[in-house]
Structure 1
Amino acid sequence: MNYGCPRSIDQRWPRSMLATRRQARLVYVLCILASASMLLLAYSTSSRNSSGHLSKNTAELSPQVGNVAEENRVVSRNISEIKPKTSSINRDKTNSFILSSNKFQAPIYYNCSMVDTSSELLSMDVPRYNPKFRNPCWYEDLTDYDVYSDNKFSEYFHSVKSLFIKLTSHWKKKFAEESNPRRLRCLPYFFIAGQPKCGSTDLYKKLISHPDVMSPPIKECHWWGKNRYGWRSNYTMSQPFSHYIDLFDGVANDIETRSTGKGTSNIITGDASVSTLWDNDEWWRLKENCGQTEPKYTNADYVHHFLPNAKIIIILRDPVDRLWSDYLYFQKTSKSAYDFHMNAAKAISFHINCTQKYTLTACIYNRTLANLARVRLRIGIYYAYLENWLNIYPRDQFLVIRLEDYAVNTRNMMKNVFRFLKLRDLTKAEADFIIGQPVANPRRKGDKKYGTMHESTRKMLEDFYEPYNKRLALLLNDNQYMWKNKDRTSAGAGNVQKSRGPDVRSKRSGRYVSKRRQQLKQHNS
């Protein structure tokens, strides 16, 4: 690595650039010294920042405590106690983490009395929704047809880019033809807010197949939990709320186009980002959390500010099976039942050490702690996230579903979902088409070779999740959420289609027929 230096003094630059051989020698020596300095700097930087897999983004190791010096010391002691001894993270004399030179660095405030701690989102005016539409929509003036030029979602998703190109052409035409052009804007009527690897993709695909449900260009934009902070851009550029609303412009245009003669519409749309329920890891970046050791507000507060009547759908499964499925899906290398066991044990140890000294909320919303192991243990603590949301929204605005029930009786579960969203009843042909769709996002073929987790791992995880499952069952007033005496052959296989029930499809004569219908035909004959 010579950074462009000539291989020798004789191999110098053209005479037009360097007049004499003495100048060539001088430039060569200076170039070698500069190269050596850069190598030493790179080596020292990597040594300081080497902390296992946590060195990927040292900025994330900055204290998640509202950017106050005293709280910095609290959390740094927490992390130093619960993480392995192989860490060499830089610390200053106050024992607080030193932020590396990254593209994004959270501002550090040592005196919160000097900081405006009002929430940007919670200070925004709520749109006046038009009562003619069931979906929360409103009209606003169109001041320019090129309204998506700075929306970064078009750079991350091809489907969003295609939609924005189409809509820009439509707005351009409308801008030229109308003297006072307006556009309809919408927000989601419902959320499929959680959880990952619990069947949310299959539920969403069947839900948007209803004639009165329209989908935005992407299922999961993850704006509330991640992208509002700039997750896709490595936190170099945040995504404003207007960019989130832009994602529903296509649906809004269709709602307006398909309105009845009276200008009303029953069409609805939703956001199926399953991070919305649980992902509040970036809370420490917000000025309203200055001086806090845990988030003052969560996604539930922000969503409720704009959408107090939102319908929240949560689909859950046995957290032990969820963790194994999540591990197989998100880990790309070195997967095995043994590796899963070791990382699960590590995650449990870190979590227990944290909760012995700090609140459960502070521990589950700490990404640094979560990244210490290769399993996402905290996502299975459903009780903590649901309790937070139920403190904001009334219970009748929630529909909580177990994947185990959904897998064995999809037809009835979808009827419950449609009824919860106050959608019209389907015809028999429409219902058969929706239920007959193949299962979405099943376990990948390459992951099937790993089989199941060790029984000792299952027992360890069941013991860990048991107290949280008991709290969840009490919260929902349903003992099924303790996941006791379940059929592991169906629920633990990691795929909806592995279950056996009246709505599991088998392909016969080019179309999908329910197993129960086949049994009835055989019985009648």
Structure 2
Amino acid sequence: MAGKWLDLRSVLLPVVITEAVLLCICYNYMSAERSCDTHSENPIYSHLTKDSVFLTNVGSTQTFPDKMNFNQTDKDQLRRKSPEFGPLRPLNVVPMEVEPHYTVSYQRDVPINYTDLFSTDSEGNCRASFCKWPKMPGATRELVASAPELFEKIPLRFLDNFKNPCWLRGETELNCLPYFYILGNYKCGTTDMWDKITAHPDVFAKVAKEPHWWGPRRNGYTAIPINRPEVLQARSHTGGTDDSSLEWYLNLYKASVVPEIINSRITTKEGIGYHPKVFGDASISTVYAIGREWIKTFPYAAEPPYTNADLMHALQPNAKFILMIRNPTRRADSFFWYLHRPGQPGDADRWHQKATTYIQCFKKCVQDYNLRFCAYAAECPYDLIPDLQVGIYHVFIRDWLKVFPRDNFKVIRLEDWEAEPVTVYRDLLNFLDLRQLSVDEENRILKRRRSNQNQRQHEQTHPETLNALNDFHRPFNVELAKLMGDDKFNYPDYKGSSV
């Protein structure tokens, strides 16, 4: 009997030991958010406390020092609201033992044939990128054809160990898009809002505020009214003077903030490496500037078949958007005087002529087409910096709310920001999923001098000009209040004061 027991033990013992080893391996790689059987579908991140990054440009390499080594206890930092669009592909899977030494490599804009976006094999099955974009929310063939590079290069999901949307190309090259976007409008407090958000300790401030890429630059705009050093630097890395490629946009951030994102690495209590800091884009043109290519591509379209809202929802469904608005008549009045040098006699007359001519032109456009068509394409004139149509807020807001839930899109009135900055700021931090600050930190930020406030001396706007502007905007304000479900958005007539 003892001999039989020894024989049986010699068979069972290796099995028991093997199972114990497998259980141990599985346990060591489990976290609060992941299980062992998910490693084949998600990037693997290290439990180390140090990392370095190499910045590469035409053969040169720069090493950044190791950064923060904190013990964080908030598991929510690792949660990503990743919508499921179907089976997920592995994204640049790295060895389980170590997080990669991320590199930041500038890429040239090289013409690429994107026929794989719509290709199938002999049996009709999808090939290459065609297997990816149908899983992106709201991505139609027409939308993909309007921006093939973006659908080719931007992945289905981003790295889980970065709060900011980032992904790898190859094994180590890190690419990042903005975490949040501040949208329109001119003279609505966007610069001051940007200043206060980027003063938060977890938001990077040293980044170009208004690259205007999603709207104007992506559609062929090459002028440099702002951010000149950053624009020229991105061009030098990308090649040429055309800023429309995604590589230009990515290079813009690689030259400023991506290395800092890498170096913001912390270690959670569970021993997981995490990069908690984020950056944004405050190009106000993103809300309305979609170019005019759609008119040529769809000559019989009654309205734009897609907007930046549709495009960005397909590519960044979890991005956060902040739209700043203001009494539209007061906004238009402030913007005119902001663009004109003080002390020029006759400016009030010129402003009246400009406003009335524009209103007549826009009304004629609506008679010939419809309001939504004219809001995006009115030749009164159509410009990077449009005049009155940006104040038709409800048209643009409706397009964004059609695709983004309210949890991703926030409308802030400048009037509320001025009247209750503490309340608005705390609500904004909650919206952006940023940690609330102490009272001292809040006071330090909110007491900063208001940015880009128009204080130029100028003539008084004629009352008849303000009356014409009020008449123009009044029905649109009514529609805005209905859309937002709040009468405070039904702005009263503006009679004139300091702007």
* TM-score for both structures, normalised by structure 2: 0.62
Q: Distance in 1 between matches of 2:241 and 2:361?
A: 30
- Write the letter of the residue equivalent to 2:251: D
Question: 1:130 is paired with a residue of what secondary structure?
Answer: coil
The question of 1:219 aligning with 2:229 is answered: no
Report if the CA contact (8 A) 1:184-1:253 is conserved. no
| 2:263 match | 257
Task: Say which SS state the counterpart of residue 169 (structure 2) adopts.
Answer: strand
Aligned to 1:434: 445
Paired amino acid for 1:221: P
Indicate whether 1:403 and 2:414 are aligned. yes
Deviation digits for residues 419-443 of structure 1, max 9, x if unmatched? 1111111122211110111010011
Structure 2 residue 430 is matched with structure 1 residue 419? yes
Q: 1:245 aligns with which of 250, 253, 269?
A: 250
Determine if the alignment matches structure 1 residue 321 to structure 2 residue 348: no
Determine the C-alpha separation between the residues in 2 that align with 1:442 and 1:213: 23
Shift of the alpha carbon at 1:371?
5.2
Q: How far 1:344 sits from its partner (Å)?
A: 1.0
Q: How far apart, in 1, do the equivalents of 2:283 and 2:477 lie?
A: 23
Q: Is the 8 Å Cα contact of residues 340 and 375 (structure 1) preserved in structure 2?
A: no
8 Å CA contact retained: 2:214, 2:286: yes
Q: Which consecutive unaligned segments of at least 5 residues does structure 1 have?
A: 1-115, 142-179, 495-525
Please tell me whether residue 283 in structure 1 is matched to residue 310 in structure 2: no
Structure having the larger proportion of residues in helix: 1
Please list every run of 5 or more consecutive structure 2 residues that lacks an aligned counterpart in the other structure.
Answer: 1-140, 225-239
Superposition TM-score, scaled by structure 1 size: 0.59
Q: RMSD value over aligned CA atoms?
A: 2.6
Find out whether 1:370 has 2:381 as its counterpart: yes
Preserved CA contact (<8 Å) 2:191 2:451? yes
Per-residue CA distance 1:21-53 (angstroms, 9 max, x = gap): xxxxxxxxxxxxxxxxxxxxxxxxxxxxxxxxx
Alpha carbons 2:176, 2:258 under 8 Å: kept: yes
1:205 aligns with 2:195: yes
Indicate how the Cα distance of structure 1 residues 294 and 375 shifts in structure 2: closer, same or farther if over 3 A, else same.
Answer: closer
| Closer, same or farther: CA 297–371 of 1 in aligned 2, 3 Å | closer
> What is the identity, as a one-letter code, of the residue corresponding to 2:202?
D
1:460 to 459, 463, 468: 468
CA distance change for structure 1 residues 371 and 295 in 2, over 3 Å: closer, same or farther? closer
Q: Deviations over 1:451-510 (max 9, x none)?
A: x42222222211111111111111111111111278x68xx522xxxxxxxxxxxxxxxx
Call closer, same or farther: CA 1:295–1:351 in 2, change over 3 Å.
same
The 2-side partners of 1:477 and 1:430 are apart by 33
Secondary structure of the structure 1 residue equivalent to 2:369: coil
Q: Distance in 2 between matches of 1:225 and 1:290?
A: 20
1:274 to 284, 291, 315: 284
Is this contact kept in 1: 2:219–2:291, CA < 8 A?
no
2:208 aligned partner, one-letter code: I
Aligned counterpart in structure 1 of residue 158 of structure 2, from 119, 123, 129: 129
1:312 to 321, 328, 334: 321
Residue in 1 that maps onto 2:368 = 357
Of 154, 172, 176, which aligns to 1:186?
Answer: 176
CA–CA distance in structure 2, aligned partners of residues 328 and 265 of structure 1: 43
CA-to-aligned-CA distance 1:150-204 (integer Å, 9 cap, x gap): xxxxxxxxxxxxxxxxxxxxxxxxxxxxxx7x23221111110111110000010
Change (3 A) 1:335 1:404: farther
Establish whether residue 443 from structure 1 lines up as the match of residue 471 from structure 2. Answer: no
Matched residue SS, 2:403:
coil
Change (3 A) 1:221 1:272: same
- 1:415 shift after superposition: 1.4
Maintained 8 Å contact 1:304/1:392: yes
Q: 1:285 to 1:125 in 2, by over 3 A?
A: farther
Q: Where does 1:146-161 land on structure 2 (aligned, <5 Å)? A: none
Deviations 1:320-369 (A, max 9, x none): 00001111123457762222112111111111111112111221222533
Equivalent position amino acid for 1:139 in 2: L
SS, match of residue 323 in structure 2: strand
CA distance in 1, matches of 2:466, 2:407: 34
Distance in 1 between residues matched to 2:468 and 2:368, nearest whole Å = 22
Letter in 1 for 2:154: V
Contact 1:134 1:266 (C-alpha < 8 Å) held by counterparts: yes
Q: 1:140 to 1:281 in 2, by over 3 A?
A: closer
Q: Secondary structure at the match of 1:185?
A: strand
Q: 1:293 to 1:241 in 2, by over 3 A?
A: farther
Q: 1:230 touches 1:236 (CA, 8 Å); kept in 2?
A: no
Q: Return the letter of the residue paired with 1:130.
A: L
Are the counterparts in 1 of residues 294 and 305 from structure 2 also a CA contact under 8 Å?
A: no
Q: Answer yes or no: is 1:337 the counterpart of 2:348.
A: yes
Q: What is the CA–CA distance in structure 1 between the aligned matches of 2:293 and 2:393, rounded to whole Å?
A: 19
Structure 1 pair 286/390, CA: closer, same or farther in 2 (3 Å)?
farther
SS in structure 2 of the partner of residue 201 of structure 1: helix
SS of the residue aligned with 1:433?
Answer: helix
Output the CA distance in 1 between the equivalents of 2:351 and 2:164: 43
| Aligned partner of residue 160 in structure 2, secondary structure | coil
| Aligned residue pairs, count | 332
SS in structure 2 at match of 1:365: helix
Distance 1:286 1:265, change over 3 A: farther
